[in-house]
Structure 1
Amino acid sequence: MNTLNAEQQAQLSRRMNRERLARKSAERLLERKSLELFNINQSLQQTNNEIKKLSVAIEQSPNAVIITDTDAIIEYTNPSFSQLTGWQADEIRGKKTSILSSHLTPDSTYKNLWETITSGQVWHGEIYNNKKNGEQYLEHVTISPIFDENHEIRHYLSISEDITLKKEYEKQIHQLAHHDSLTGLLNRYSLYDRLKHEIDNAEHQNAQLAVMFLDLDRFKPINDTYGHKGGDQLLVEIGQLLTEVTAEHCTILARLGGDEFVAVIPFLEDPIIAAKLAQDILTALEEPIQIDKKHKAQTSASIGIAIYPNDGLSAAELLKNADTAMYHVKDLGRGDYEFFTEDMNKAVEERLILARELKLAVAENKLELYYQPKITQESNRLCGVEALLRWNHPELGFISPEKFIPIAEDNDLIIELGLWVIKSAFAQLISWQEKGLPSIKIAINISTKQLQTQGFVGSVERALHEFQVPPQLIEFEITESAAMDDPLKSIENLKALRNIGIDIAIDDFGTGYSSLAYLKSLPIQVLKIDKSFVMAMDKDENSAAIAKAIISLGHDLGYKIVAEGVETQQHIDALSSYHCDLLQGYFFSRPLPSIEMEKYMLSADICRH
């Protein structure tokens, strides 16, 4: 056996060491490469998982997704796109996105879109497109460029949301916020906003503009007769009528609420144009308006006109002054138009002062009742009195009821004032009885608001009980307009008063509706002929004929007839020939304070009840 020398042994040992080191190095390399392969595999799995997640996300996205090439050729669409547009993926793949165009989106939008995405930026915007069936829709779109590893654009990704309903809701919300929900006209908020804008324009152009404030006359009876549905339909028809009549001149037409409307004429060359338009509106309203298949309603309007800059420099001031002019028309009898004047402002200031003073007078018991006798025509006996409210102001002197009663009605003082009158008249009646004076009937005027107030009949019953007044000695006078203002409520309350034992009289008959057929449905016992007919009988044959006809027809219906405004013997002779029952006027006596009325009663021949 050969043995190795020391040198050979050393060489062998070195070779074995090298082989061992090489083997270990190979093992380490294999281990490292195995680890790298493992990591790569893990990364690929993770990437595949991410791709799968992204694919599922795109497939299940509620938004429509499109992927195109750089020429806008469609390469991919998700199911939401198909649900939205009706196009299936295999139908639209390979077609240009322009197949979706509705041609409603401006060219400038598309120009901006392409300039943005071809420069490598993301574009956001709204586009009108067509569905497969031709239906249009609005979508909010985000389009992003897709880059390759060299940062070259290879594809475009579009993600869109259908916002058609959202825009419709926004439009509806805007409509509700800026327009009247019933008529579709501008509302109060928009009126002020638009009017301020028109005032700015007028100021810069050194021009005039007109503000026309319109209020329907006697809208409440129509609303009560035909119900809220009929009243609402009338307002809708009025809105359409005003839209047509004012179209040529007005840029603003609004409904403030209730039965109030405002029209604005910008760049007014001459106030005559506003006057002519107001007259056109009044003429158009002369025709009855169809409110349902069976019924038509007749109405009119009162219109006040204020001119910028003469009548105001702000929207609020112009509207206030136009409103003032409108109420002036109401005071004059309705159904007309008036331009605002500074005198009207003075009248408004005077009304404000009187309203304040009247409130104090009621609170401090500074008012008093006067009494005017009623005389029987046949026997010339005192048969009753009418209680008339009087106000002797310490500084302003005697103030006419024609001035302060409307103020009380406008400021809701009439309820408190009316109850004060009722209680004061009851107290006076009892006072006269306690003094041994004969019992006579007292007539008390009742306002429209009193008659329509809930609890009015109850307050009368309580007052009768408080003062222990026999109801047969009380007569309530109401005007024709009060009875017609809310017929159902009027009849209900009048019947309740009649059931208590109080007589009901229609005051100023002949000046209002003068409907004997309607009056027959009311529980009334007395008709009072308006003094305007009585005072004109000896000069005007028509007035005499009207008075005679009222007396004859009233008697046929079983009513007693009172003629007020009797001032001459000729009046008495004529009314006697017509067989009028009771006479009232200055021929017999002016209205007297309570002390003087007592003296009159002591000297008068009094009929017995």
Structure 2
Amino acid sequence: MVVDESSFQKVKDFAPQAWSINLQNNDFTCPHQLIAMLGYPSQSVLTLSQLFAAFEKTQLSLLKKHIRQVIDTGKPIIQTAILNAYQHRYIAEIVINPLPKNDKVITGTIELKQYFLTKQQELAFLKRVFAQAHEGLMIADINHTILMVNEAMCNNTGYPEHELLGQPASILKSGRYTKPFYQKLWGHVDEKKIWTGELLAKTKQGEVYAHEARIQRIDLPNEDHVYVSSSHRLDTSTDLWDEDDPNANSKVHVPDKNAFNKKLNADYKQLSNEVTIVGLVFSVSLAQATSTITRQWLVAQRFSQLSQRGHLGILNEKMFAAYWVVPKQMEDIEQTLKSALAALEGHNSYEDIGLSATVHGGASVLQIDASSPSQMLAHASQALIANSQGNDSSLYYYDRRLSKRFNRKATLATLLRQALAANQVEAYYQPIVALPELKIVKFEALCRVKLDTKLPYSVQELIEIAEEYNWIDQIDAAVTKQALHDLPLLQRHYHDNNIGMSINRSVVNDRVSHCCLADTLNIFEASDIDLSLITLELTESAYFDDSYYHSEWLDKLKAHNIAIALDDFGTGYSSFSYLRQIPVNIVKIDRSFVSGLTEESNEFSMIDMLCKLTHKMGGKVIAEGVETQQELYLLSKLNVDMLQGYIFSKPRSLEQTLSCHNDPVYMPLSQHLYHDNIVNAQTIMRRDFPKIGPDQKLSVALEKFERHQTRHLLVIEQSHCLGVLQQSDVSAAISPYLNTKGEQNRDLMTLNKRVHQVMSKDFLQVSLETSFDQLFEQFVNQPYTVVAVTGPNGVCLGLILLEDMLLKHREHQSSH
């Protein structure tokens, strides 16, 4: 083997080395060359402990995880890791081969790819990287005392290294911020572990400058931590130099008025018929007093982050101008300007540290209210100057028609923000009714906000505004908490502890934050509600915008027995093939497919196919927006599982709902249901039946027996029936001394037995098409049996008991 001793060079003449691990005796076998390199030249075989000692702690944990993963999945894995050999360290590529079934030996290869630094060299290397980094770097301890700084930080601040070490980080304060300002900043860092944004600082010479800071908290062992800060002076950056007119003497590299107009006129001459130019003239004021240069830098930085590429210019010390080339659609124009205002205002964390901005703008649109670029800028300036500028950001169009449209939306947004600040979000409830019983099985919690205005508005309009302004999470959380609080009251009113609650959760903002579903689960777990009674509704488009992340979280929610519903099916991706990719229990058909439904319509065929496919997959279908007897009849004919709509009830407040009758069954509507003359397992079975997992404790089973008032529980795993748990079998398996004066710990331990230890596998499974006569014969021979009804792929779809057969028999006799 030839090793190039220079840093980070490749290892030559070292072929991949085969290795194996015997899982029975934990021996590691490989060629003697590799064993000697690891520091054991006298051995022919290594123990796993000797092998694992050659890996860093984090990489060893990953290696163990990968070995277990290969054993579980049978798929090979390649891992790159640092290998600490006897005299050298290497970057090694480790291949773990799939394990043959029932084999006890794992095999693979190790190839040394590249020479790596020794521990001492690595430490020296990291120190050199820290010292020579272009960004200013500083490390402070738990008390904010400076421990380390690099040369760039010294250059930024004007302090030599020895004058910063051991000093409090406050030595660099600009004097422009208050004490609460810094308390909020450090509180944010301690809670979120990181903060990034623009700040003001002061040099040794007393110069106040703006810098882009990144402050990160690094947690250490023994509950200790340090703060690592990077600093990039904004007034020395060239990132935003204008390509057409770079001005090396300017500290703010954004076009002046002349350069801006030059670029605007050039784009105007190349304008096609499909697009137009929207112009914006605006002013910006920050919550904290800052210099003109700092304000201009902040505007330039935030403008550069817009997804819609535009051009920015400085008209004077207080005024900016910008323009975009956009399609000739009002929605595109409005969205471009709204996004610009939101970006210029700054994200939420700026509000805590005084760098949030108030933006006032005037807008003009070429070919609508202006015929030339110069007239467009003049009109935008007039729109800004002619209107009042308050404490909130504002945008005014020169064209009155456009201004009226924007002002209405802006007014609703302001009123909605005020309502949210006053906690005026209310939950309304609409019943979801099961077929064919026509019984309330759950309620959907819907958002209602009453605004103090005479302007007409819809709930959907407010939701869209909330999503646009990133308020939707606050609304959803408020409705969720209220619904979970109110559910026991609804259950008591209808004398049914099995009534559930369906919760809507928008994940529009989750594309960035990835915390919405995690927060939702936290709210659910903080309540005292049985989570099996909760259904979480998501829209198609929201799911597929980040399906990998959402499917991971939906699996976690389902592990807590929370049902997942796909809302508004047919309005988004609307492909049946997608149903196989989504881990949902329920599909909700949008009201647009239900309204005016006829047996000859395409919608009827679509619902028919959807029901059959969903039922085969073990799911259920809910139809929304049911308003007429005709719709009720046809949907019951299509075997839709549940219905929701005004034919039962409009959404009502809790007070209104509790003031209504407490009968959960809409019996008068039964005459409008479709009645099939065919009597088989599908028409007899209970679609809603109590179930339990094989690994759950008998204590859980006892709770379910009591809550559902039943003697039988189907044992379900991955939608398949494994057996039946009888109440009598549980009683026999637990101690008779429970809940008596003689109860001891060993008696309580009997409640920890698992369902699979007690359940009976002697039960009958039938298909949906099994006739009444065939079922009747089974029950005559075994009157106390339990029948599980399964679909073509073995998914358990329903349950039939002796009382179900007797009820259907009486119905059959009375009809004849």
TM-score relative to the length of structure 1: 0.48
Higher RCO (CA 8 Å, separation ≥ 6 residues) = 1
Greater CA radius of gyration, 1 or 2?
1
Task: Return the structure number with greater helix share.
Answer: 1
